[in-house]
């Protein structure tokens, strides 16, 4: 997920970390010959990068985790309500109407249930 750089700091091993608007940090090492980011070594170079965009890997992981949780909860709600409607004696079409109706009115807390965010 694209996030603006808001500031920089060094970690305990003295590597530069870009601080992103989402609150996450991302290393921006100058580590030749693998990575060339000479700009990170000077205050002026870092200042020029504030406001620029980095892809936040942690936000991407979180978004994937949220999407997967919502998908699993939707499937669970559909299966349970479809089966329950069948036990109540509804035909297949009626079962689907009940299941879809429940899913349309489900609250976000239920969709995000069991999501573990550190």
Name the burial class of residue 12, with classes exposed (0-12), middle (13-18) and buried (19+) by CB atoms within 10 angstroms of its CB: exposed
Residue of the chain from 15, 24, 30, 37 that contacts Zn ion (CB under 5 A): 24
CB of 81 to Zn ion, least distance (A): 35
**Total interface residues for Zn ion by CB under 5 A:** 5
* Only segment of 5-13, 43-51, 57-65, 75-83 that touches Zn ion (CB under 5 A): 57-65
Give CA–CA dist 59/53, Å, rounded: 13
CB of 20 to Zn ion, least distance (A): 5
Closest CA to 23 of 64, 56, 67, 65: 56
**Rule CB under 5 A: is residue 29 a binding residue for Zn ion?**
no
Written as six digits, the tokens of 78 are: 């559909």
**Rule CB under 5 A: is residue 98 a binding residue for Zn ion?**
no
CB of 60 to Zn ion, least distance (A): 8
**Rule CB under 5 A: is residue 59 a binding residue for Zn ion?**
yes
Residue 1, C-beta contacts closer than 8 angstroms, at least 6 positions apart: 22, 55, 56, 59, 60, 63
Q: How many other CB atoms are there within 10 angstroms of residue 41's CB atom?
A: 10
- Give the nearer residue to Zn ion in terms of CB position, either 54 or 74: 54
Which residues form the interface with Zn ion (CB under 5 A)?
22, 24, 56, 58-59
């Amino acid at each position: 997920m694209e996030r603006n750089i808001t500031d920089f700091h060094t970690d305990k091993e003295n590597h530069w970390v870009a601080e992103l608007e989402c609150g996450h940090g991302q290393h921006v090492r100058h580590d030749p010959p693998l990575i060339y980011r000479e700009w990170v070594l000077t205050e002026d170079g870092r200042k020029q990068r504030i406001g620029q965009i980095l892809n936040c890997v942690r936000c991407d992981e979180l978004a994937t985790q949220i999407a997967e949780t919502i998908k699993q909860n939707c499937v669970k709600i559909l299966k349970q309500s479809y089966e329950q409607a069948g036990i109540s004696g509804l035909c297949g079409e009626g079962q689907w109407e009940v299941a879809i109706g429940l899913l349309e009115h489900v609250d976000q807390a239920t969709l995000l249930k069991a999501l573990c965010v550190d």
